[in-house]
Structure 1
Amino acid sequence: MFKKVLELCKVRGFLNNINNDESVIGPVGALLQQNLKTEWLYNVVINRETNVFLCEGSFGDTYEFARNVCQERSPFGIARVIKDTEDTFDFDRYFFGRPLFLHTTMFVIPSFSTQFFHDWQRQRRTWWRKLSACPDRYSFSDLQTNDYGNQLLQIYAEHESGKVLVESLRFNKGLNPLVTRDHLYLKDGRKKVQAHYITSNISLSNMLLNYICDAYDEPDFLDKQRPLLRFHRKLAPYKISFAISATKSETLEELSLLALYLCRQLRDDHVSCLLLPSTIKTTLESQWPHYDELGVPYTVVLNENTLKNGISLLRSRDTTLKEQVHVTKLRTYVEQLFKNY
């Protein structure tokens, strides 16, 4: 199956082939990767109860700012994108060049650090499962503890090709090489103690290919199997596509202008849309495979009846069912579809 996934990635613009063994991220893959990075940012930095600061420059300077603004009280954390790591991620070998890693470091006082590490484990696995088409595929490795009491726990995804490492979590009781010893001391009541630190490490390119494999499916369609990508709505590179069915050139032109108008409305609402040219020879059945293989959750269908009564059809990628939505209500309806995801 993995060979089919790679072939689909190259055909649909997720990956561009460099040689027989390595690829670079294509234009559609770049959108997917950006969505993944955004979801990581919201989960780790913005939506957490703990203060986490985004580091674009010096880790030491960011730590000093975080330590001071939090009045030397934990927990607090630093999130950053790095180029070097001690972890080896399975899917990185399929990409050309050095991978980027999403790295988070949380600083916690010893009296709370063990409980924090346990909570962090559950939160991280829940995040992977939340965005997955098959949540049960994500599991923990056995907990590894060294002679110094430092611990390593890894999150794996189970695919047909085998287990794939997706994230490494570490619990460290020693010194942090990027922080001076004196500054690692934080307040615990009236005293100061040397903080423990907990890290999370994710390869961005490995995560990209993992979620493509996660979304890949081959359901039956008209007694034939055909591939599609069941991306979570938040991850899908394109949320909405447009399909036009017309038998006359004049009708096609009118529907194309309507599609452009609706597309602009949705893009104004920050909904990523895909609007491709159509001809009178283009059938709806010939358009579904393209959009399904791109993982587009919904396709707006415009036909000759749309010009008569204003009714469009909204086709679901996952069920292939179509529901009627008046074009004047489409903008609001799409907003509700994606609001709670």
Structure 2
Amino acid sequence: MSLKKILSLKKYPFIQQINGSNVLTPLSQQIKQNIAIEWIKNISRLPSVEIFVTPFNSYTEPIVNTHTNSLKAILDNYSKHYRVWSEGSTQSIGVIQQFVCCNDNHLNSFINTNTNVCLGFALFCQKHESLYWFQKLQGNQYQWFRNLSKFPLKSKFCCELQESDSKWVLNYKTQDMNLQLLSMKYFSNSSVETTLGLTDCHVISCNVYLDNTLLSIISDSYTDKVYKTGKPKKKMKFDTSLAPFKVGFTFRDSVKQNGILKDLAEYLIESLKLFNISILPFTPNKLISIESCDELGIPYTVILDDESIEKGVVGLRNRDTDTEESVHISRFQQTLCLYLNVIHPSSIRNKY
């Protein structure tokens, strides 16, 4: 998807032009927030590493007095953790720190923001394990980004080694985009002592640039298709974990609205909120169409009609496959929770 097509999404824009500047809309801010949360979750699952995360007011806006050097901030905030580790612990430690990127090579000129908020991860490890972790993190990050693509085998994410194999970068490349999403650097021996003042460990620094990552996700998720009737259709195939809303509710076109249907919709919405599932605001007087749900990138749309009252059945439409299945209200909550990976199948068996 080109930058022009991103700006052409007028009905539900992800980027708007205001006074000649391109700014993020609330939809994009939510996706950016989801990217940060999922990236931290992925890093936190590294085996045999104790992870510390600095407190954030927001994952997408910098905290007060944020450092511009992620490693310096990490050492300032977590020197006590490093000291305990260096005094005898054999387990590696990792620290996730928010910082402001001031390097022109990483800033995105397409989006006008006061600061480009980045997330930095530093892994402090024993010297004999450093090369293992450097290679493992490369595979971890490349796989994580590629899995977010709607077509992983045809994704535009690519990586390369730089600076005598001590720096690894992940980019997103299309005809009109060349965005650096992540950089990883390996500090060893004299470089650790000179740069950080540490003498008894090696350090791997990994920084992800959220604005660039957001643009790559929007570009990669866009899909347009023209049917035989000549009617075009646009979809945003966001990964479920990144979608700004997971579920939308609407009524079938042929149905006549009534109070019972509205109450049923509200009941089902409340049942999903118990699991903190983000739902597109439901307004019966101004219903959203299925096509609009696709443009917003909503993975599942719940469709209510007369059968919902007569038989207790609702339609559940999948964005990616365009298929609709009938789900009984008694199994509605657990079905959607399973599809959205909110709960594990074993918990369903134990509870129901």
Fold shared per TM-score above 0.5: yes
Alignment of 1:102-117 (within 5 A): 102-117=119-134
1:220 shift after superposition = 3.2
Give, in angstroms, the shift of residue 274 of structure 1. 1.1
Match of 2:96 in 1: 79
Q: Normalization by structure 2: what TM-score? A: 0.82
In the alignment, what sits opposite 2:213?
A: 207
* Partner deviation per Cα, 1:113-141 (whole Å, 9 max, x = no partner): 22221111111101111222132322212
- Counterpart for residue 50 of structure 2: 51
Aligned mates of 1:268, 1:80 — CA distance in 2: 31
How many residue pairs get aligned? The number is 319
Q: Give the residue type in structure 1 aligned to 2:12.
A: R
Residue 302 of structure 2 corresponds to which residue in structure 1? 300
Contact 1:92–1:99, Cα closer than 8 Å, also in 2:
no
Partner of 1:231: 238
Distance 1:48 1:320, change over 3 A: same
Matching of residue 153 in structure 1 with residue 181 in structure 2: no
Q: Indicate conservation of the 8 Å contact 1:312/1:325, yes or no.
A: yes
Contact 1:91-1:209 within 8 A present in 2 as well? no
1:327 shift after superposition: 1.6
Residue by residue over 1:145-182, the C-alpha shift from the partner in whole angstroms, topping out at 9 and shown as x without a partner, is: 2xxxx722111123342432111111122136884x3x
Q: Choose which of 166, 185, 198 in structure 2 pairs with 1:170.
A: 185
Give the equivalent residue in structure 2 for 1:27: 26
How far apart in 2 are the matches of 1:268 and 1:63?
Answer: 36
- Distance change (3 Å), C-alpha of 1:69 and 1:254: farther
Residue 118 of structure 1 corresponds to 135
Unmatched tracts of structure 1, length 5 or more = 186-193
Q: Is the 8 A contact 2:99 2:118 kept in 1?
A: yes
In 1, Cα distance between the equivalents of 2:253 and 2:290? 16
Separation in 2, partners of 1:63, 1:76: 10
- Which SS does the other structure have where 1:96 is aligned? coil
Q: Tell me how far 1:195 sits from its aligned partner.
A: 1.9
Contact 1:168 1:200 in 2 (8 A): yes
Q: 1:267 aligns with which of 258, 269, 273?
A: 273
Structure 1 residue 6, shift from structure 2 partner: 2.4
Q: Report the more deviating stretch, 219-228 or 109-118.
A: 219-228
Query: RMSD across aligned C-alpha pairs, in angstroms?
Result: 2.6
Residue 15 of structure 2: aligned partner: 15
User: Which residue of 123, 134, 138 corresponds with 2:151?
Assistant: 134
Displacement of 1:202 in angstroms is: 1.3
Q: Which residue of 2 aligns with 1:2?
A: 3
Quote how far apart the aligned CAs of 1:108 are: 2.5
- Residue 349 of structure 2 aligns with which residue? none
1:143 counterpart letter in structure 2: Q
- Matched to 2:96, the amino acid is A
Deviation at 1:279, TM superposition (A): 4.7
Q: Percent of counterpart pairs with the same letter?
A: 24
Contact residue 239 and residue 298 of structure 1 kept, 8 A: yes
